[in-house]
Amino acid sequence: MEITKRICNGVTFFGSDGMDAAGGAAHGFSTRLGGVSGGMWESLNLGVSRGDDPDHVRENYRRFLKAIGAPEGHIAMTNQVHGGAVRCITTADVKGDPYDKVGYEADGLMTDLPGVTLLVYTADCIPVLFYDPVRRVAAAVHAGWRGTAAGIASQAVERMRDVYGCRPGDILAAIGPGIGPDCFETHEDVPNAMTAALSTAVLQHIKIKANGKFSVDLKGINAMRLEQAGLEAGHIAVSPLCTACHPDLFWSHRSLGTSRGSMAAAIQLK
């Protein structure tokens, strides 16, 4: 499986060819291209808490969801807290507007409800989308370094198995654009947290730099955790693109700070 670039009606996004081939789920990882916002939010800002004009943000949602083939009107969001919780979305959680209030905290969402678009938000953190074409279940997670250490990706697989009866071997996963190891330079607290939570197996994805700091491959760690959770290697697609290296294409907190918009990863069961 691969992550490929797509353009639809002027909206640039990325998606998994393997999920497309499986059919039954619309999905996509947004970029900053194809929207109507101006100024520091130019142009496809999907963040509702960035200070952008709400009408511009709503139009950006309309364009993005139409581009990926997920009709607007039924969405599920979450208050992200950089943890490992994955929430099961029911009809009570479905919203009609991106500015509707959400009363729970989680960094992952999953559902078997058709027509509901799950949304998670990133601006360097790693987005991961899941689809089980056998049990017809979808999930989306936001994996920053804390969420990666908390095992958010493998938690999603376990929750899909326990709640919906999914077999890990049937699940497809797409790891979208996020900060790469060269740009994710950290002090020793991040490697220490990773090894404490996930064992020394993560050391293959951590390198010490000449300046004494560390580079951490969050995508590689999440892909490793998915294989450990039972996914087949061929069912995991990983985007090679670093959001911090391409601020013209992606919103990057590392490159742009707080003067920016946000991207979304979305998946909807058709």
pLDDT tens column, 27-44 = 999 999 999 999 999 999
DSSP letter at 186 equals E
CATH number for 116: 3.60.140.10
pLDDT for residue 39: 93
pTM over 0.75: yes
Is residue 186 domain-resident? no
Q: How many domains does the chain have?
A: 1
Is residue 53 domain-resident? yes
pLDDT at 210 over 90: no
Is residue 90 domain-resident? yes
pLDDT for residue 31: 98
pLDDT for residue 141: 98
Single-letter amino acid, residue 96:
G
Map residue 205 onto helix, strand or coil. helix
* Long-range contacts (CB closer than 8 Å, 24 or more residues apart) made by 188-191: 188/214, 190/145, 190/214, 190/216, 191/216
Q: In what order do the strands lie in the sheet with 75-76?
A: 3-8, 11-16, 25-30, 263-269, 117-122, 75-76
Q: Are 111 and 94 in contact (CB under 8 A)?
A: no
Structural domain that includes position 71: 3-179+230-269
**Count of positions (residues) in the chain:** 270
Is residue 37 domain-resident? yes
Is residue 199 domain-resident? no
Is residue 225 domain-resident? no
Is residue 57 domain-resident? yes
